[in-house]
């Protein structure tokens, strides 16, 4: 497993996205959280195809903080069952990766 992770979720409002991003960084669960949006989403839920507008949050974190970050996202998220996906950072500048470590420990 990679030492550093990207973790992504989406919310239904820019305020919810900013709040979730800030709270994760304040708690040291993520080094940063970038809010992007609006994005148009098409999805299937409860057997129906729907469309909506969301804001995506992209977090950078240390791998050993991923589980705690996921728990925070789920606990603070406005959705009942939010998307939380993660993937490893395979490469990056050493100074940048060291910053992620300092910001999350």
Sequence ranges of the domains in the chain:
4-104
Query: In whole angstroms, what is the distance from residue 30 CA to residue 55 CA?
Result: 18
**Matching CATH number, 4-104, of 3.30.420.40, 3.40.1790.10, 3.30.70.120, 3.30.930.10:** 3.30.70.120
- What is the predicted pLDDT for the residue at 1? 64
List, for residues 13-43, the tens digit of each pLDDT value: 999 999 999 999 999 999 999 999 999 999 9
Query: Which pLDDT belongs to residue 51?
Result: 96
pLDDT digits (tens, 9 = 90+) for 50-75: 999 999 999 999 999 999 999 999 99
Give the tokens for residue 60.
């950078």
Give the predicted TM-score (pTM) of the model: 0.93
Give me the residues paired with residue 92 across strands. none
């Amino acid at each position: 497993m990679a030492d550093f992770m990207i973790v992504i979720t989406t919310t239904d409002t820019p305020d919810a996205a900013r709040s979730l991003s800030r709270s994760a960084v304040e708690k040291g669960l993520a080094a940063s959280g970038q809010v992007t949006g609006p994005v148009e989403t098409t999805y299937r839920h409860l057997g129906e195809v729907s469309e909506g507008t969301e804001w995506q949050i992209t977090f950078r974190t240390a791998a050993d903080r991923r589980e705690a970050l996921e728990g925070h996202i789920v606990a603070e998220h406005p959705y009942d069952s939010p998307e939380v996906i993660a993937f490893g950072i395979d490469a990056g500048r050493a100074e940048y990766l060291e910053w992620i470590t300092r910001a999350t420990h």
